[in-house]
Chain A
Amino acid sequence: MRKLVQSHATEFALLAVIAAICVVLSLTTDSFFSLGNAFDLLNTSSVNIIFAVGLLVVLIAGGIDISFAVAASVVQYVTALILGYIGGGGWISGLLIAGSLGILLGAFNAFLIHRFRIISIVATIATFNIYFGLLMFFTQGVSIYDLPDWLTDRVVLFEHEMADGTWAEITLPVLVMVICVAATWLFITRTTTGRQLYAFGDNPEGARRFGINIGAMQFIAFGWLGMMAGIAGLIQAHYAQEVVPNALYGRELDVLAAVVLGGARLGGGKGSVLGCVLGVLLIAITQNGLNLLGVSPFAFKMIVGAIILVAITLSNTSIEKLLPFMRGARR
C-alpha cells in the first residue's frame, strides 16, 4: 500500500483534493451530492477527457500540441460535410471518418516536427493558426445545424428515476470516453510501442541508441492525439447537436492544464491515464461546484487557475514531505 501511494503520489493527491472539494460542496449545496449531478458531470466532461488522454500520449513522448482543439473543429466540420455528401452514414462510418481525418491532421504536425526539426510547440502554434484560419475562411463562420438524425439523437445508456421525478442519465459520450481511456491505458502501459514512447520522451538519445525509430514515435504520438481529437470532435457535435466552427477554440489550454495537473510532465517520459482523468474531473467538479454555489461565471477562470496552482504545488512537493516515513529504506 505504501509503495502504491509512493509511486502514484500525484494521483493520490488529486483524489484527496477532489474528495475535499466534494465534501465541502455536499455540505454547502443541496444539489451537488446527487446521482443526477454526478452523471451530468461525466456527460459534460467526456469530450475533455478524450482530448486529455490523446494529449497525454504526446506529452509522454516529449512533445506538446496546441492545435488539437481546432483540429477537432476542422474534423467536425469536414465530417459533417462528408456525411451530408454520402447521405447520412452512421456511428461507425462517422467515427471512422472523424478518426481518420484526425490522424491525418496529427500526422501533418508530426511531419513538420520530424522532417523540418521544428520544436513541437512552434509547429503546432503554426498549425493551430493554419487549421483555424482555413476553417473560418472556407466556412465564413457559418455553423451547420442540419446534421443526420443519428448524430443529434441522444443515446441514453442507463437511466434512473430520482425521488423528485427527474431522470439521472448516462449517455453515449461517456461510453466513447471510457473506450478511449481504456484503449489509451492499454496502449501506453501494456504494449511495447507504448513503452518505447515513454522511453523516447524520457531520454531521446538513449532511445535512439537502442534503435528505436524516432520518426515513427512522433507519428504514432501525434497520430494518436489526432485520432482522439477527431473522435472528441464528433462527440462534441453530437452533444451540442450542432457544428459551430469556433466552438472548441480555446479548449486546448483548458485540456493542457488538466493533463499537466494530472502529473504529466512537459518534457516527456512521465504521466498516467488515471492522473489525466482525475485532472479533468477536478476542474470540472470545481466549475460545477462554483456554478451551484451561485458564483459569477466571470470568476471561474480565476478560481480554476488558483486550484491548478495549489494542486500542482501539493502533488509536486508535499506528499513526500508531509509523509517522510514513506521515503528511506532505499538508497
Chain B
Amino acid sequence: MADIPGTGAKPLLSLHNINMTFGGIKALKNVSFEVLPGEVHCLAGENGSGKSTLIKIITGVYRPEDGAVIEYDGQTYSHMSPVTAQASGIQVIWQDLALFPEMTVAENIAFQTVIGRWPRFVNYRTMHDIAVKALKRLGVALDVDAPLKDYSIAQRQIVAIARALVGEAKLVFMDEPTASLTQSETDHLIEIVRSLSASGVAVVFVSHRLAEVLEISNRLTVLRDGALVGVYPVEGMTQSRVTELMTGKNFDQQVRAKSVRDNPIVLEVKRLSRPGQFHDISFNVRSGETLGITGLLGAGRTELALALFGMLKPRSGSVSLHGKPVRFSSNRDAIKAGIAYLSEDRLSLGLIQPQSIADNLVIASLDSIKSGGLLSDDRKRQLVARWIADLGVKIGRQSDAVSTLSGGNQQRIAIAKWLATDPKLLILDAPTVGVDVGARAGIFEIVAKLAESGLAIILISDEVPEVYFNADRVLHMAQGQIAGWFDPQSCSLQEIEAAVYA
C-alpha cells in the first residue's frame, strides 16, 4: 500500500489500477485514489477530468475495466455495486440532492425505510425518530413534519446530509455541495463537515471553489484528463498552485484595471431605490469600462441588475443611457435600448438546453436575420458562424443541442446570444458559476476584448478575486446599499475581501 505522507493510518478506501473507457475515449487512465478514515479529502479537477466517473465507480454505478482493485474497510472488490456500496456505508450527496420536495423532511431523511420490493406498512413514528436523531447529530433543528419544499436550498442540503448519515455512513461524497449556497451557509456546511470528520466519517469534497477546498480539506487528489496528477497535503497549498495542477497551465492573474475616465458615460444611475431590495444606488459606467459589483448573496446585486434590465420596477431614482433618461416597462424595452443581461442561472434561464446552438444564439436577435419578413436560414448560419469564430467556441455542428456543450462553451454561447443584439451595455451576472478554472480564464479574455471594443460592462460576482482582477472599478454592495468603492490599481485583494466578508 502506498505511503501516505505524515500519517501512519491505514486507508479506509484505496483504489488501484482504475481504467474506464467510454466510446473509445479513456475517461480514467490507471488512476489510484485513497481516503483515510475520518479525513476530509478534496477531489479536484476540471470538468471532464474524470472526477464524477471515479465517484460513480466507487459507488457502484459504473464497473471499472478488468484489473481494478478496490479495497474498502478491509474487503477487496474488483468492482462495487450500488447495494454493496450503500450497505457498507458509502454515501453520495449528489449535486442536485435527489430529494423529494413534496414529502416531509422526516420522509426525506428516513426514505431508506420505505425502500424494498415488497409492500409493508409505513412506520411514520420510526421515520420521525430517525430524522430527529440524524438532524440532532448535525446540530440542526428543523421541523421534520413540514414538507421539504418549505425550506431553502441550504436547509435542503442539510437534509441530504442527514439522509446520508442515516445509513451509518463511513465515507461521504459531496459533489459541489456549495454551488448554490451563500457565504454564511457555506460556513455552516464547513462546520458540519468538520464535525463529521471529527466523529470518524471520511468526507470526499468535490468543489470548484478552491478557497473553501483549501480551508476544509486535509489532503488533495488532483485529476487531469482522466489521469492522476498527484496527491498533496493541503497545508502550504495556494489557490494558484491548485489551479496550475488542475489545468497544467499557469494562470498568473494580474489586475486588468485601467483608467477610462475620458471615455463617454454610457449608463448613469441616480439614487435608484426599490424598497426591501436596494436603496439609493448611484453610479455610472463608461464606454470600454468594466464595472465590478460584488457583495454577499442577497446584497441586492441581482435585483439591481434586473431593475436595469427592466424586469423589476424601481420605486424611485433615474436611469439614463448616453445621457437620455430611460424608463423600461419590460425587458423588451431594455433590449431595444441596448442593454443585455446574462443571467445568473445560465442553465435554467439563459439557454434553452434541448434546442440547437444556432437557435439559442439567435433567439434575442431574430429581427436581424429576417429577410422579406421571414427568418432566413442563411443569415442565421452566417451570424452564428461569425460569433462562434469571434468567441472561440468549440462546437460540433450548429444544429447540435446546447446541452452537448461543456459549461465554458455554453457560457460563451450565452454571451454570444446577447452580443448578437448589438448592446451598448452588457450585464454579466455570476458568469462563472459552474464553469471550471481553465474556461473561466477564457471567459474573462472575452470580457476584456469586448471592453476594449468600447462596450460598457457590469460584472457581478460574489467571488471577490473575479471582480478584483477583471474590473476597472469595484462597487461593494451590502444590504441593498453601496457599502464602498475600490480601485484595484490602488488596493489589495485582501482589502476588498475584508470589507465584503466583514
Residues of A within 8 A of B (CB): 3, 7, 189-196, 198-199, 202-203, 205-207, 209-213, 216, 269-270, 330-331
Contacts and interface: CB of A to CB of B under 8 A. Distances in A.
Contact of B98 (A3, A190, A205, A330): A205
B483 interface: no
Given A191-B121, A198-B103, A269-B103, 10 more contacts: A192-B115, A192-B120, A195-B107, A198-B102, A199-B100, A199-B114, A205-B96, A206-B97, A206-B99, A210-B112
Contact of A196 (B101, B114, B150): B114
B151 interface: yes
B23 interface: no
B103 A211 contact: no
A202 B122 contact: no
Contacts of B324: none
A192 B100 CA distance: 15
A211 B119 CA distance: 15
6 contacts: A192-B120, A198-B103, A199-B103, A206-B100, A209-B98, A211-B82
Q: Which 9 A-B pairs have the closest CB atoms?
A: A206-B98, A192-B114, A193-B119, A269-B102, A202-B100, A195-B114, A191-B119, A202-B102, A199-B100
B249 interface: no
B453 interface: no
Interface residues of B, number: 31
Contacts of A192: 113-116, 119-122
Given A190-B121, A192-B120, A330-B143, A212 B115 contact: yes
A203 B143 contact: no
B141 to A, nearest CB: 11
Contacts of B145: 3
Contacts of B147: 7
B82 A199 contact: no
**Interface residues of chain A: helix, strand, loop or mixed (majority):** helix
B83 interface: yes
A60 to B, nearest CB: 9
A203 B100 contact: yes
Contacts of A190: 121-122
Contacts, number: 74
A212 B111 CA distance: 11
B102 A331 contact: no
Interface in B434-451: none
B115 A210 contact: yes
A193 B115 CA distance: 8
B190 to A, nearest CB: 21
Given A199-B111, A209-B98, A331 B152 contact: yes
Contact of A202 (B83, B94, B101, B119): B101
Contacts of A202: 100-103
Given A199-B100, A202-B103, A210 B121 contact: no
B116 to A, nearest CB: 6
Contacts of B119: 191-194
Nearest to A192: B114
B146 interface: yes
A262 B116 CA distance: 30
A179 to B, nearest CB: 18
A331 B151 contact: yes
Nearest to A269: B102
B157 to A, nearest CB: 14
Nearest to B148: A202
B151 A213 contact: no
Contact of B94 (A191, A199, A209, A330): A209
B117 interface: yes
Contacts of A211: 82-83, 115
A331 B102 CA distance: 16
Nearest to A207: B100
A191 B102 contact: no
B111 A210 contact: yes
Contact of B146 (A193, A203, A216, A330): A330
B144 to A, nearest CB: 12
Contacts of A195: 103, 107, 114, 122
B115 A196 contact: yes
A5 to B, nearest CB: 14
Nearest to A216: B117
Interface string B129-159: 0000000000000010111001110010000
A267 to B, nearest CB: 10
A114 to B, nearest CB: 17
Contacts of B117: 213, 216
Contacts of A205: 96, 98
A265 to B, nearest CB: 8
Contacts of A198: 100, 102-103
Given A330-B146, A331-B150, A269 B96 contact: no
Nearest to B151: A331
A191 B120 contact: yes
A194 B96 CA distance: 24
A192 B150 CA distance: 24
Contacts of B121: 190-192
B364 to A, nearest CB: 29
Contacts of B143: 330
A330 B150 contact: yes
Contacts of B103: 195, 198-199, 202, 269
Given A190-B121, A192-B114, A330 B151 contact: yes
Interface in B39-64: none
A191 B94 CA distance: 27
Contacts of B99: 203, 206
Nearest to A213: B117
Contacts of B101: 202-203, 269
Contacts of B150: 330-331
A216 B117 CA distance: 9
Given A198-B100, A269-B102, A270-B102, A191 B122 contact: yes
Nearest to B152: A331
A29 to B, nearest CB: 40
A3 B143 CA distance: 11
A330 B145 CA distance: 12
Contacts of A206: 97-100
Contacts of A209: 94, 98
A213 B103 CA distance: 19
A205 B145 CA distance: 23
A267 B112 CA distance: 24
A137 B411 CA distance: 57
Q: Which of A202, A270, A331 has the most CB of B within 10 A?
A: A202
A331 B142 CA distance: 9
Contacts of B100: 198-199, 202-203, 206-207, 269
A203 B107 CA distance: 14
A192 B113 CA distance: 8
Contacts of A331: 150-152, 155
A64 B83 CA distance: 32
A195 B103 CA distance: 9
B184 to A, nearest CB: 14
Interface string B68-107: 0000000000000011000000000010111111110001
A199 B100 CA distance: 6
A85 B212 CA distance: 76
A162 to B, nearest CB: 43
A30 B130 CA distance: 56
Nearest to A60: B102
A68 B109 CA distance: 36
